[in-house]
Structure 1
Amino acid sequence: MPFPLYLLAMAVFAMGTSEFMLAGLLPDIAADLDVTVGTAGVLTSAFAIGMIVGAPLVAALARDWPRRPALLGFVLVFAAAHAVGAITTSFPIVFATRVVAALANAGFLAVALTAAATLVSPDRKGRALAVLLSGTTVATIAGVPGGSMLGALLGWRATFWAVAALCLPAALGILKGIPSGRNEDETTGRPALRAELAQLTRQPLMLVMLLGALVNAATFGSLTFIAPVVTDSAGLGELWISVALVLFGAGSFVGVTVAGRLSDRRPGLVIAVAGPLLLIGWPALAMLANEPVVLFILVFVQGALSFALGSTLITRVLYEAVGAPTMAGSYATAALNVGAAVGPVIAAATLSTEAGALGPLWASGILVAIALLIAYPLLAAITGGRSTEVIQ
């Protein structure tokens, strides 16, 4: 894989740390800012909403910008938003900084996903996406648990400062490793923006985006509220939240790595195997959460299955949006973050039910079930002869 891909993954690591870190910080943020844990959980949705709106909007604005200054600018705005969030005492301002950070993240990912696809041959998009997303999975292994531990020791504000600091070496890497201009081949014969947006009327593209959103909603719904599961259901101390996050991140790294080798040529196999196992895993986790050893094993497994299935579906978005070379990355980003916005909201609503802290896990199972109900007839139709339209 080209070296610039790994520089992009470094920036994704910083952004992924921020996107996932609230899972271990929500109780402290809620207490400090005098809101409920459920209300604090909306910060995850705020970030996702900013990503949804920002991905297509910023991608459209930045489609003619040179990639290096665009990516550098997004990273620096992202860092500044975290610095403001670290010093404020107002929940609405923290909410606003999450939206601004998300807009910067969305712009970065929209440009980076498109750039990643153009750095490799057309049949290796899945491998390139796996390298890029490895920044997120490494964030869940090291960055997020480290942030959770830092928050437990020094407070949640220290974690926000740490994320801002992480952006600086990422910015230097972009400045040194990404070409400043565009190749003529990338702009010659490029479709007009209207034609790229028209790709969204294609049913295969919208279906794959929907499936990706549902799976990601399940992932974020449970991950956002994993802290109460560890401390309440399993009865463990706060520092064990970091252990759960490390295991989820390790699983997600395995899932992305394996799926990256299969999603280009055998996406149907990944969906057929990972989908049912993921469906079984969420309710199993809910029923066995009071057993710490089993809890941690299932957290690892669910991380692997969630990211294997999710990354495969997002790879299919890039394939289906081939007619939108500058906007495809934003469509993939939007699909991911529609799920990331909706999932925590649905999960938060279950906290006040009889299921309590386990409600998000049951909700995740239902979301995956809906995705599979949609995907199963789709897979059947395609294996019956409609070859490459959605899932080969």
Structure 2
Amino acid sequence: MKKFPLMRNNILRSDLDAVIEHLKQDDPILTNGPNARAFEEEWSEWLGVKYSVFVNSGSSANLMSMTLLKFDHPEGGEIIVPPLTWVSDIASVLQTGFTPVFADINPRTLAMDTDRILEKITEKTRAVFLTHVQGFNGLTDKLISELEKRRIPLIEDVCESHGARHNNAKVGSIGMMSNFSFYYAHHMSTIEGGMVCTNDAETYQKLRMLRSHGMLRESSDVDVKKSYLDANPDLNPDFIFAFPAYNMRNTEIGGILGRHQLKRLDDIVIRRSENQKLFFELIDDSRYQTDFEFEGSSNYAFNLILKKADPDLMSRLSKALNDNGVEFRRGSAGGGNQLRQPYLKGRLPAEAYESCPLTDHVHFFGMYIGNFPDLSAAEIKEICSIINAA
């Protein structure tokens, strides 16, 4: 294990003890049950939304969101997406038959630039799928206003940015739907896990059914159930499948971990932000970017991006970090520019990555380093000394 890993101690002994206490029962419920449902309610209250649906990963949350959009647009269309994001955002667009349209980033937030998004909107645009990258708030008032005016749904990927804010609202509470991940390396963890959130009752009912094979009995709306029962008198009421859907349920163990971790999430966000402040105070701002938009951020990891393209410095920096046991990921979120990935070859022009030069700079001259609550000030100072000496 590296001396300075990407994540450390994200599941505590107290979390595991709570799981063990549950398992000590004579016949404990292990599949999706009361703890999973309680976690959904507690998460909704924390985020400031009406409804949340607990699933088995952030990638599943992405796929469910895109599938729901496809119900409204069976003909397909375009989804505006970021080139700097995790692969499952783009994959979910492709898997549901939509066409991804890429907009380059704002280098101060690493999210899609508002003006670049608005330039890409056409009559075929079905949604904007915006990633809040690495803990930064990617929203602007202008983007929210323009999308509302044009009646274009906003889908928020908040997998790396739990607790980040836009104005006085947590990101993930603003769009039509939002997706979260509880993977081990993120702000909080249910081992694997994710959440889809919304304020729309109809969307919520569809998400509940989509998560579990499309089964009508997963709906909690009496009127929805009645409409299907009346239309299908020849079917067993317990086995009516409204949609060709998925099995994306999480478990009681995930629910227990989520409930325990949520209690300390606000403190985790504060600590990560304190770490971020110290890190950017200490690194050499003549060589590394430090002018990020920190307002409202909820740091996921330390982004280390060269101000100028410098292959020699990047090589020295990578060697110094490796030699000193500092784990890092080149290219920042998702390995850099998604437009360079093989899964998009043949779907886009060969040189499509050239349309996103700011993302391409991060691809070659950016990386991230782990930030986590028990990372000490002394450790941050040591890491920064290694960086500045490269």
Q: How does the TM-score come out when normalised to structure 1?
A: 0.27
Higher helix share: 1
Structure holding more strand per residue:
2
Give the TM-score of the pair, scaled to structure 2.
0.27
